[in-house]
Structure 1
Amino acid sequence: MTGPPTGAVTGRHRHYGTFYGLEQVEQDDRPLLLVHGNCQAESLRVLLSGGSQQAGHRSPVRTVRVPPVHELTADDFPHLHALLARVDVVVSQPVADGYRGLPLGTAEVLEAAQRARGGGRPPQLVVVPVLRWAALHPFQVIVRAPGAGEPPLVPYHDLRTLALAAGAAPLPEVPSAAAVRAVRDLSATELSSRQERHGSLPVVDLLTDAGAHATHTVNHPGNGVLIGLARRVLAAVGLPDGVADPGRTLLDSVHAPVLPEVLDALGLVDQAGSARPSWRVHGQDLDDDEVRDAHLRWYAEHPGVAEAGLARHAAAAAALAGTGRTA
């Protein structure tokens, strides 16, 4: 590994201490894994590393905590390449070449690993999908708005609020059962298509089997889904199951509201206690009406964002509009 960073050591350097050479990589005969991607990737790494409160638990692999791909900079490349020279397995979400203007795509990282080894055999690659699942939150979408950033309070958009801000036909406040299932099926189709396109491990069954505990938001899966995916990663590299419950909720920062009608439509009546009327943000309850009012003001300050978001997610909006009902 390359040495520690020159100049002042920051909190970021200490948080990713092994990546920056402030701490040593564990030395033993277990394979070394790099998990490359967003916040979901870090949660997966925690599970693969054996981050468990169970006494005596030991993972069959070693991992190094690295910054998420959207936080990596050109200054991080010496440390990334030093790690790539040593890893046995790269576990990566599908990242496009030239991501954020840097060679951080999945294929580019694998090529960098081969160069770092002097042209030798590259590490084994396991592709895991970016998990997005709208079944529990049929109105919730993610909208990228270059130059505008994220809306206040929560970084998610609601199709009902987008329609209102864009002056479009209003969407039903409470979706019909058919609409909920249509959005779920659309989400499953999109995820299955991405799995096939990128050759990633399958996850749709993990999400459907998890029921009301599948996700906290459209892009924050629950522990059960992440644990199932971590086990499939180990199986893909021929290793035994060494994944244990971490003893805490991963990706816990934001929990979106879940309507009881949605659970009923999905056949999850026995999990009706999982419905929640409010947001839960960093441990504090937040009223959905407060979020809507703040987002409407934000859309007014950023013309075009609502219209673009509604167009981007037209299929989900159409499913909700075509079979929904008003509250």
Structure 2
Amino acid sequence: MDDGPVDPGRRAHYGDFYQYGDFYQHERTGEPVGVVYGNCQAESVRVALSTSPTFPVRLVRIPPVHELTADDLPHLTSLLRDAVVLAAQPVRDDYRDLPLGTAQVSALLPPGARVVRWPVVRHHGLHPFNAIVRHPSDRSLDPPLVPYHDVRTLAEAAGLDWKPDLSPRNLRRVARQSVDDLAARETAAGVDVRVSDLLLPAGAAAAHTINHPGNEILVALALRLQEALGVPTDARDPGRTLLDSVHAPLLPEVVDALDLDAPPRAHWLVGGRELDDEVVRRAQLDWYREHPLWVEAGTARLAQRLRLLAAVR
């Protein structure tokens, strides 16, 4: 297979993916292969599944769907044509103008391959102010310092007369709404494995950020995927923290309201280093002045959260 213009570091990181189509490797291994497909959560689920001593398939590490390029399509096609298992998150057809939708990649599988669908996990119950906002003009653009927006900063940038209600009752309501939102998305997407019921019982271990679930959730998800595939449920914690790059602050009001077994934390952790939340707020306010479209998109997209969090006057 033509290697194409792939960065050497990326090629090394995803070596099995880029080398899979090479005749010598395929013939040498001859083992059944599978794919865990989706966003940044997919690799962590693959790692959790790979802890199983009995899982009957070698799960090939691939780039997350938002990093796949047209040059990657021949490699993805070669792998999927041999895959006997596809564990996939819902991805819309022609995602990023490429045939990367879950239905589209599933169509490449050989007859008899197993497909099990699992949700994109988002949970803002622990971090009620944090959000992800995209704008059609540049869907990959993130605000500075951390790739998350804050509804308080958005409201300030928009000039809204808005103050949050951090009472225990309201924060519990926001957390419950987060779970209900995920449950509704699970139903709408028709997933085979659900996660929403795991979030509140996991407490502070449920997530590091709104889209980075903690190990407890990822391992439980891996066990449910094994069950759905009809194989032994023996995945276990890999012994390191997955999705560890960013940890959002944990407010003392949230700790109290949700009765969390964890200390509050006023700062971010980015790459293991502390980052003051006020520094993030100021940097993002400056950024919003140069990117007003994100303020408009964010306040529109997060209108329900703003209402839920608003203090009654």
Q: For 1:6 and 1:162, locate their aligned partners in 2 and report how far apart those are by CA, in whole Å.
A: 42
Aligned to 1:137: 127
Aligned to 1:316: 305
TM-score when normalising by structure 1: 0.88
TM-score when normalising by structure 2: 0.92
Q: For 2:2 and 2:91, locate their aligned partners in 1 and report how far apart those are by CA, in whole Å.
A: 27
SS in structure 2 opposite 1:239?
coil
Q: For 1:66 and 1:251, locate their aligned partners in 2 and report how far apart those are by CA, in whole Å.
A: 16
Q: Structure 2: 5+ residue runs without aligned partners?
A: none
Q: For 1:171 and 1:192, locate their aligned partners in 2 and report how far apart those are by CA, in whole Å.
A: 28
Decide which of 178, 190, 204 is 1:199's aligned counterpart. 190
Name the aligned partner's letter for residue 11 of structure 2: H
Q: Structure 1: 5+ residue runs without aligned partners?
A: 52-56
Q: For 2:196 and 2:18, locate their aligned partners in 1 and report how far apart those are by CA, in whole Å.
A: 36
Aligned to 1:278: 267
Aligned to 1:294: 283
- Percent identical pairs in the alignment equals 52
Q: For 1:70 and 1:6, locate their aligned partners in 2 and report how far apart those are by CA, in whole Å.
A: 19
SS in structure 1 opposite 2:218?
helix
**1:7, CA displacement in angstroms?**
6.8
Q: Aligned pair in 2 of structure 1 residues 243, 4: CA closer, same or farther (>3 Å)?
A: farther
Matches within 5 A, 1:95-114: 95-113=91-109
Q: For 1:235 and 1:102, locate their aligned partners in 2 and report how far apart those are by CA, in whole Å.
A: 32
Decide which of 21, 45, 64 is 2:60's aligned counterpart. 64
Q: For 1:175 and 1:233, locate their aligned partners in 2 and report how far apart those are by CA, in whole Å.
A: 37
Q: Is the 8 A contact 2:39 2:65 kept in 1?
A: yes
Q: Is the 8 A contact 2:143 2:284 kept in 1?
A: yes
SS in structure 1 opposite 2:19?
coil
Structure 1 vs Structure 2 CA RMSD: 2.0
Aligned to 1:123: 113
**1:58, CA displacement in angstroms?**
5.5
**1:226, CA displacement in angstroms?**
0.1
Aligned to 2:173: 182
**1:299, CA displacement in angstroms?**
0.2
Deviations 1:188-213 (A, max 9, x none): 11111111111211111221121011
Name the aligned partner's letter for residue 11 of structure 1: G
**1:21, CA displacement in angstroms?**
1.1
Matches within 5 A, 1:38-117: 38-50=39-51, 57=53, 59-113=55-109, 117=110
Deviating beyond 2 angstroms after TM superposition, the runs of 4 or more aligned structure 1 residues are 6-9, 22-29, 57-61, 145-148
Aligned residues: 306
